Structure 1
Amino acid sequence: MCAVTITALGLTTSQAIAAPAGPKPQPWPVRQMAELGQQHAQQVKARTSAALAGGEDPGDEAENSAEATEQFTEARTAPGLVAPGAYSAAWAQLQSLPHTGGSWGHVTDKPYNSDDPRYRDIDSNSGAGSGFVTGRVTGIAADDDGYVYAGGANGGVYRSRTGGGHWQAISDKLPSLSTGALSLDGSGRLWYATGEANTGGTAYVGTGVYVLADPKRGEFQPRGRIGGTELESTVIHALRFNGDKVWAATSRGVWTHSTTDLSGPWKLEFAPNPTFLPGGADSKVPNAPYKNIANDIAFDPKDPSKVVLAFGWRSGDAYNGFYGKAGDGSWQRLSSLGDLPTDAADVGNVTFERSEDGSRYYAIDESPTKLAGDPDTNLQGVYVSKSGSPLGPWTLVADSDKLKGSGSAQQDDNYHPGIQSWYNQFLQVDPNDADHVYLGLEEVYESRNGGTDWTTPGPYWNFYFPCWNMDPAKRTCSTTPHSDQHAIALGSYRGRTTVYVGNDGGVYGRPLNGKADSLGHATDWTSLNDGSMDTLQYYSVGIGKDPADRSGKGVVVSGGLQDNGQSILRARDKAMGSNFGGDGGDTIVDPNNGCNIVAEYAYAELRSTQNCAVNDGSWQDDPSKATTYEIAPPDHDTHAARFIAPMTTDAKNPDTWVTGGRHVWVQNKGFAIRSGEEWNNAYDLGAGHYATAVAASGGTVYAGWCGPCNNQGFTRGIAVGNADGTGWHQLNLPVDGTLPNRYVSSFAVDPANAKHVLVAFSGFSRAWSEGPGAGYGHVFDSRDGGATWTDVSANLPDVPTNSLRLLPNGGLALGTDLAAFYRAPGEKNWKVIGDGLPTTTVMQLKIGPDGRLYAATHGRGIWSIDPDRFGRVHREDDDRQ
């Protein structure tokens, strides 16, 4: 078994935090869709302006994405830096643990229809045009025999033999399922670079690069890793082939390896700040992970020895820029490339792409200066080198304004194309036409004349266009790809060449030379998300009995997703629907009626429904007929909450709900609540403190918090009090290792005794974290309401934890970044739960009214298992070692 390392990477330092200032289209078209009609675009603008005047910001997804990045990472890294090898040790320990009996069943192995016409209430995205979706896809490769390979952000690699669809997982034996890049080489081998380079909400670093010699029939194996540990704990933005070498642009510089001799280590070609690499003099400073980020590599087709390296942290650093090799063999910053900027302030995330004939090079450049200060976009520009050399001269062929006028859906004055170009980029050149190029930002753009003119074959959504109508029978819009583009490839199936794009909604395809309407919007996109590839990234899950199921046994399963709203799966559904749009956060579902649902968007933006949010669209003319209700507590208005704010119901009184931002909010009306004004402020956690976990039982409430939440002075605490606002106090949690000074991720309260509480901590123990007071252990038990604690982590791997759940039999279930674990009543040690659950992040565990344990994973959908089968225990088979 090889040594491995996987961990989260994102914004963790004050130097690195530079959230995009400009907003992007609100993924929940709540205000936008309220007055749609024949003058749809004009009415949307009017509604948006009214919302802004009322203190709301309906277009802040770009800022939200950056905040999600930061906060997801904080939970796993604070209070300091995590040393390489942390996940290696956890993975090694995982392999030796026994498993309980039982097998996990895949709940969400069905198509997910984001346009499901059943859910057309004011809060849904129904009608946007993306159709069937899955989770974020960050790597694609395809050949001319109909084989397509797609890599999920944290879901691994899937193979299709039919030009897309009928997908099969082929990397589940690897320790990392985080996709940085997928590439087929000239010999037909498939190269898989782990470690997602998108600095989006849940990017994970990986375990290096793997090669599959026979991708049409084989599966990736740990022994297929190239080199040693050199690329562990990195993200890999691109793999580029040049002669008999493969070049890797990573978060720790540019590396090369022979493609003919796959043995031996990777060679570091260049890192602009080598003292910040592991083992260097500055490797332990907080911003070390951001000092050597390589984004792409370009070669001169006429002289392959001429190489240009693109370096740069998206938020800006003095080393950002382009580098070439001088006569003495050293790498030097390039100072003149034509229109393509070389100043560090204007070079950020960069993507290169060369034409097949070598006559053209294209590039995208994101600007740190614009990201920090431009409210409209952070796109510096799109460029072409008509010499075919990456040394230029480069000519600007598109900027945000030009793309805005190309048929883009991003027409509002508050955002322009490229508002998330730090996150969304791809380029692809037609191999038969060097002037025919596809460009991916939030939308898909196309030029047939080398960038002189552009169209938008894949607009953000269809809401702004004349083809749209609330009545699906009157809607004439074509399918459009989900927003936020990450990957692209060309392949052929049955003689037709297809362009495949990967984005936050999965994989879509259209003919390379496809058809479009008068606005330049493609009429021939096909969603390839048929349910066989489940890369859905859940934050939460909720389960309740299905009131329409006559057997009384069927359940409704709901869950909040990264950029894919809230999914809903009813007992007899053959496809999931989406009844809430945008980013889905935490979830409350009535166990006795699964159509009573509370969905969170972000920062405790809560909405409730009592009929699964089913609506015939009648709210368009009469808003009182809407079947969802805004019930956000006041902390939402000022974003005084975590991006994914915790919420729960009282274990003994399901009508008592608790959520938390700066304040602990309580309401006692259950699903009868109709506005955010009905929440009561039970306790103020303090300025700069934000709830990370809440639990309640019999009126006793526990709230974990952090603030500051990053590794610049990280602090955490636990407050305890009563739901009626009395008896609140902060527990004494000294930074001495008694309880870890790490992120409080979850509580479990004994229903028979509210003073008996268990708490879970994320992050890594002191063995791997250099932050003050990191301590040891992940799960602690108190029998006196938090006055004293006992470490009950026992044999748990040292890995971030996410969800702690007391089971009806008195046992404990724990979801972590590697697996789910179980501790039986009266036992000390933990076991891995069951068989069949992919190695990915288990974000939340809940027991359904059917008695099954449900796991919401952040990359492989929702799974369930019968806890009654936990009694049988076995050890891992040899093929799992």
Structure 2
Amino acid sequence: MSAPIRKRRWLTICAISASAALVAIPAGAAPGRGGSPFGARNLARLAAEREQSVRHITAKVKADDGGDDGNEADEIAEGADQYAEARTSPGIVAPGAYGAAWQSLRNLPGTGGSWHNITNLPYNSDDSRYRDVDSNSSGGSGNVTGRMAAMAADDHGYVYAGSAGGGVWRSRTGGGHWQPISDQLPSQSTGALALDGAGRLWLGTGEANTNADAYLGSGVYVLSDPHHGTFSTRSRVGGDELQSTTIRQLRFGGGKVWAATSEGVWSHSTKNLRGPWKLEYAPNPDYLPGGSKAHDDAAAYKNITNDIAIDPKDPSKVILAVGWRSGDDYNGFYTKAGGTWQRITSGFGDLPTDAGNVGTVTFARSADGSRYYAIDESPAQMASNPDSGLEGIYSAASPFGPWTKIADYKQLAADGSALTTAGYMPGVQAWYNQFLTVDPANPKHVYAGLEEVYETKDGGATWSTVGPYWNFTFPCWSIDPAKQTGDCSQTTHSDQHGVAIGSYHGKSYVYVGNDGGAYKRPVNGSQDASGHATDWTSLNDGTIDTLQYYSVGVGKDLDHGGVLVTGGLQDNGQSILRSNDKVMGSNFGGDGGDTLTDPANGCNMAEEYVYLAVQITQNCAVNDGSWTTDASKATSYNVAPADNATSEARFIAPLATDMKNSSTWIAGGRHVWVQTHGYAIRSGSEWKSVHDLGAGRTATAVAASGGKVYAAWCGPCNEQGFARGISVGNADGTGWHDITLPATGADGTVPNRYLSGFAIDPKNADHVFLAVNGFSRHWTEGPGAGFGHVFESTDGGTTWKDISANLPDVPTDSAVVTANGGLAVATDLGVVYRAPGHTKWQRVGRLPAVAVLQLKLSADGSTLYAATHGRGIYTIRVRDCG
């Protein structure tokens, strides 16, 4: 039995989702602090800390093809930085920017027409049609969708799944047959879900995983009839106090609901939902909005709180778990003594109380209150231990201790973990992956989630990895497509975030949410000899589409007629949808970045992993399961240009084909790369560097038509000295020069912000449009932020004109010129359109409030495709746009 070859690793993407990092807001956004519900300023501050926070989680993985060591944790940090940079540089963005943008977008006239979701069908990561060497097929996670941040379930078969950026979904059948129930809320990002004793469903918005695409929220909402109702803006609890925060946990006790947020711990009556939230404790109140240090770069992580443990026998006794994952002197556990909150410094037993060893923490307690459990991530260990940041899992008879350590990463690794076969140890991302719950019927029966799912039935004396990271390299694994995942049982997707226990038809199930969606198994399920569960069921049946796309590609399906659609996804590889498919497949694994697809033959495609690690296939990467590196038999080829090996490309780097010659490709890193073999390319050596953008610079967008190439770049790309520019030249390497852009982004000129996309007029290569990310200087505290988001040049980029007109002040990500001369633009809050001959913008249809990262046209130009980062791929007829 051969071992898997060059498997793409999920861990890279876990925390990035390179996409989205801020907010998305649907209709009806109520104004909050600063006049709107969202704050983008936190992004920049968190981005500045991200690299430090994960730099030392340095599990090294040697690429099987002999490439460089892959530092997965550093990739997470850098991808997070870069997604935030695009939206915040050259400075800090003030709270309220997204809320104001959404209000403006709602006020735009609509174009008519309706979007159609084409990815609302099962997406099988194990699809045996695409068992290519670079796929994750046969890994065992089955049907997947986008990241689930929180789960809740009751004893009547109702299950609730809260996604990272695609809203909250309900199942009436114990999982599956999902319906969205939060589309009318001003935030589609979930931080916490909880059912109270009265059966009400509580939603805390704002994902609290501190990753790149964790969106801020608009507060807490309650649904009195979760079996039948839907959330509305009228169901918000309290006032504006929790706007522009993330909420990690909601806990109940003493007639109160407690919220652990990014701006302290708050409480509110569960009986009277009106009136303001009460700030119970903030370790550094000067850094809160309105405080003397609110504008400090450190403000975003100076009041992060993680969880609350309440003694059910005496709800006045409360423990707060407080602290930023990378460590700060305020990190620790707090309780009230003498009417004020005091740090606990002794009597906790094995559970550390010193600031350096208290990071991200999750509590759980048994239904009878006899046992408490906790997971603790250690900032000190994360900074010094390349294997794991997990301090341990603990148990106590009281939240006040003494606590006993019942597991560490070495013990979990020895109990059937698959992480060790991937070059990691359990808890390598304990700052990002955590859940914990106790079986209501057995106080010693615990489920813990890190990168994998672990179970103990004896209070922690022994553990089993019931949800291993994947099945690769296990003795039971087989590539035989007839066996699907071989002799191994299905597992869950990696990177765990949410958990709940509920019943359906009298049987108890545990429900887990992770970077691949939602899964369940019987609470007292079966295991094989290795301790791996044999009874996981994926609940991602296609009725729940929270897929997080970076890109989309469209081409003819020559084998079946119709259209083939593909796209790159956060942590879920590359999807492929044939015209006759009832189930969507995955032909490349890991992260999926940018995508090139041959309009004339969709099975000719190129996909980017990260950093310009480009793979191509000319048969959709279909094979018979016989993996090989023999070039004469291979179905996909690694053709990365040299900037991939030297790490001189963006995490999600730009790719493009020449509009007039599909055999000419452009790739952007530090260099502008050109190859002229089209999909017949077989080696990275076939790329030619036609222009060096310069040391410290890297391409953010590329486009070409008739041999004329445009390349936008940044360098430095963060707010410290941020600089941007445009280089123009020819694909044959001649005529390259930098466009002169005002360094300060003077009014009416291209701002000193991140340049995210070009759209070339197919009739004239000198006529080009430019999409500009970030926010104007009205919101951005940075030099040259300027105004405007869409610019036009009629002289090949020599001069530019601001054509933003009534376009909302919102980050723009992509643009396309339609066949009739109209211009469609993708933004972080939807799609807008300018009809030919007009100067004003219209809103295109009514997409869910998620970022649209890329737009593409069908081969005949009749249909517009939108890659959203949280609700899949949508289409609309171009004729309905104008």
TM interval, short-chain normalised: over 0.9
Contact 1:12 1:711 in 2 (8 A): no
Aligned to 2:469: 460
The CA distance in 2 between the partners of 1:420 and 1:557, in whole Å, is 33
Residues 736 and 862 of structure 1: CA distance in aligned 2, closer, same or farther (over 3 Å): closer
1:718 is the counterpart of 2:726: yes
Tell me the SS of whatever aligns to 1:118.
Answer: helix
The CA distance in 1 between the partners of 2:694 and 2:383, in whole Å, is 29
Task: Give runs of aligned pairs for residues 481-560 of structure 1, distance below 5 A.
Answer: 481-549=492-560, 552=561, 554-560=562-568
The CA distance in 1 between the partners of 2:660 and 2:777, in whole Å, is 37
1:611 is the counterpart of 2:619: yes
Contact 2:131 2:481 in 1 (8 A): no
Contact 2:831 2:852 in 1 (8 A): yes
Letter in 1 for 2:848: P
Aligned to 1:17: 51
Deviation at 1:515, TM superposition (A): 0.5
Tell me the SS of whatever aligns to 2:781.
Answer: coil
Aligned to 1:472: 481
Task: Give runs of aligned pairs for residues 354-373 of structure 1, distance below 5 A.
Answer: 354-373=365-384
Deviation at 1:335, TM superposition (A): 4.8
Given the alignment, which residue of 382, 385, 401 partners 1:392? 401
Letter in 2 for 1:699: G
The CA distance in 2 between the partners of 1:577 and 1:14, in whole Å, is 37
The CA distance in 2 between the partners of 1:379 and 1:20, in whole Å, is 15
Given the alignment, which residue of 641, 645, 669 partners 2:649? 641
Q: Percent identity?
A: 63
The CA distance in 2 between the partners of 1:336 and 1:841, in whole Å, is 48
Aligned to 1:169: 180
Query: Which has the larger displacement, 730-739 or 167-176?
Result: 730-739
Deviation at 1:16, TM superposition (A): 4.6
Contact 1:13 1:286 in 2 (8 A): no
1:5 is the counterpart of 2:40: no
Aligned to 1:232: 243
1:450 is the counterpart of 2:462: no
Contact 1:16 1:287 in 2 (8 A): no
1:655 is the counterpart of 2:641: no
Residues 754 and 143 of structure 1: CA distance in aligned 2, closer, same or farther (over 3 Å): same
1:685 is the counterpart of 2:693: yes
Residues 710 and 319 of structure 1: CA distance in aligned 2, closer, same or farther (over 3 Å): farther
Query: Which has the larger displacement, 243-252 or 6-15?
Result: 6-15
Contact 1:23 1:415 in 2 (8 A): no
1:804 is the counterpart of 2:815: yes
1:91 is the counterpart of 2:102: yes
The CA distance in 1 between the partners of 2:727 and 2:461, in whole Å, is 60
Deviation at 1:700, TM superposition (A): 1.6
Query: Which has the larger displacement, 462-471 or 821-830?
Result: 462-471
Aligned to 2:8: none
Letter in 1 for 2:51: I
The CA distance in 1 between the partners of 2:455 and 2:677, in whole Å, is 52
Deviations 1:760-799 (A, max 9, x none): 1111111111112111111111222333221111111111
The CA distance in 1 between the partners of 2:471 and 2:870, in whole Å, is 27
Aligned to 2:17: none
The CA distance in 2 between the partners of 1:814 and 1:15, in whole Å, is 32
Contact 1:80 1:769 in 2 (8 A): yes
The CA distance in 1 between the partners of 2:606 and 2:146, in whole Å, is 22
Aligned to 1:665: 673
TM-score, normalising length: structure 2: 0.93
The CA distance in 1 between the partners of 2:345 and 2:823, in whole Å, is 58
Aligned to 1:208: 219
Letter in 1 for 2:783: P
What runs of 5+ residues in structure 1 fail to find an aligned partner?
27-47, 872-881
Tell me the SS of whatever aligns to 1:158.
Answer: strand
Deviations 1:785-820 (A, max 9, x none): 333221111111111111111111110101111111
Deviation at 1:623, TM superposition (A): 6.1
Given the alignment, which residue of 589, 603, 606 partners 2:597? 589
Deviations 1:372-414 (A, max 9, x none): 23221111111111x2x22211111111110000001122484
Letter in 1 for 2:459: G
Aligned to 2:20: none
Query: Which has the larger displacement, 582-591 or 262-271?
Result: 262-271
Query: Which has the larger displacement, 437-446 or 614-623?
Result: 614-623
1:763 is the counterpart of 2:774: yes
Deviation at 1:65, TM superposition (A): 2.5
Letter in 2 for 1:392: G
Aligned to 1:838: 848
Aligned to 2:90: 79
Aligned to 1:563: 571
1:574 is the counterpart of 2:574: no
The CA distance in 2 between the partners of 1:806 and 1:368, in whole Å, is 49
Deviation at 1:188, TM superposition (A): 1.1
Residues 351 and 464 of structure 1: CA distance in aligned 2, closer, same or farther (over 3 Å): same
Deviation at 1:422, TM superposition (A): 1.0
Tell me the SS of whatever aligns to 2:381.
Answer: helix
Contact 1:760 1:804 in 2 (8 A): yes
Deviation at 1:539, TM superposition (A): 0.3
Given the alignment, which residue of 416, 436, 439 partners 1:430? 439
Deviations 1:711-747 (A, max 9, x none): 2232222222222222222222221433222111111
Contact 1:13 1:710 in 2 (8 A): no
Contact 2:321 2:332 in 1 (8 A): yes
Deviation at 1:666, TM superposition (A): 1.1
Deviation at 1:256, TM superposition (A): 1.1
Tell me the SS of whatever aligns to 2:317.
Answer: strand
Residues 183 and 319 of structure 1: CA distance in aligned 2, closer, same or farther (over 3 Å): same
1:289 is the counterpart of 2:297: no
Deviations 1:474-516 (A, max 9, x none): 5211110000000000111100010000001111000000001
Letter in 2 for 1:484: D
The CA distance in 2 between the partners of 1:282 and 1:721, in whole Å, is 47
Deviation at 1:250, TM superposition (A): 0.9
The CA distance in 2 between the partners of 1:781 and 1:267, in whole Å, is 50
Aligned to 2:22: none
Deviation at 1:285, TM superposition (A): 1.9
The CA distance in 1 between the partners of 2:132 and 2:47, in whole Å, is 40
Contact 1:22 1:415 in 2 (8 A): no
Deviation at 1:310, TM superposition (A): 1.3
Contact 1:704 1:717 in 2 (8 A): yes
Letter in 2 for 1:843: L
Letter in 1 for 2:649: A
Contact 1:375 1:414 in 2 (8 A): no
What runs of 5+ residues in structure 2 fail to find an aligned partner?
1-27
1:421 is the counterpart of 2:444: no
Query: Which has the larger displacement, 493-502 or 764-773?
Result: 764-773
Contact 2:345 2:354 in 1 (8 A): no
Given the alignment, which residue of 785, 788, 795 partners 1:784? 795
The CA distance in 1 between the partners of 2:315 and 2:77, in whole Å, is 37
RMSD: 1.7
The CA distance in 2 between the partners of 1:653 and 1:61, in whole Å, is 36
Aligned to 1:351: 362
1:56 is the counterpart of 2:64: no
The CA distance in 2 between the partners of 1:715 and 1:314, in whole Å, is 30
